[in-house]
Amino acid sequence: MSTSLRSFAHSVCRIEIHLVFVTKYRHPVIHDKIESDIIELMYGVCEKNRCRLKEAKADLGTKDHIHLLIDFAPNVSVSKLCNTLKTVTSREIRKRYKDQLKPYYWKPVFWKRGYCAVSCGGATLTVLKQYIENQGYDD
């Protein structure tokens, strides 16, 4: 995994977030083809928002959730991007797989309302704390 920083107009950063989206009612509806379509759609949404979808994989055992690793732009909020990702993919997947999803969803839904977001980084909190505490001393 790359540890390089990304440059923007007035900032340099690396903001990586691990996201998990779960299907509504945890219905087991994500199979190989739906997974690849979701990933393709999410890649496009991320690019439009100057973010990078670094990894994405659905749990094809339970078929009810997907894990994402996204490198965020500094001006994009986690909640805004999650909302956009879920809205776009839900609309398109329901349109493309209408007959397959019909037994599971009678309303226009695909994802559960919430999501899980966890920040990721190369250093532990202990290492970061030590680094900050030692600022101003010769290394």
CATH number of the CATH domain containing 55: 3.30.70.1290
User: Do 122 and 5 form a contact (C-beta atoms < 8 A)?
Assistant: no
pLDDT (0 to 100) of residue 4:
84
Q: pTM score > 0.85 for this model?
A: yes
Residue 1 resides in a domain:
no
Asked if residue 122 has pLDDT above 90, the reply is no
Provide the domain limits for residue 36.
13-133
Residue 42 resides in a domain:
yes
At residue 30 the predicted structure's pLDDT band, cuts being 50, 70 and 90, is very high
pLDDT tens readout for residues 98-109: 999 999 999 999
Residue 2 resides in a domain:
no
d(CA 123, CA 69): 17
**Total domain count, the chain:** 1
Residue 4 resides in a domain:
no
Residue 81 resides in a domain:
yes
Residue 108 resides in a domain:
yes
pLDDT (0 to 100) of residue 74:
94
At residue 137 the predicted structure's pLDDT band, cuts being 50, 70 and 90, is low
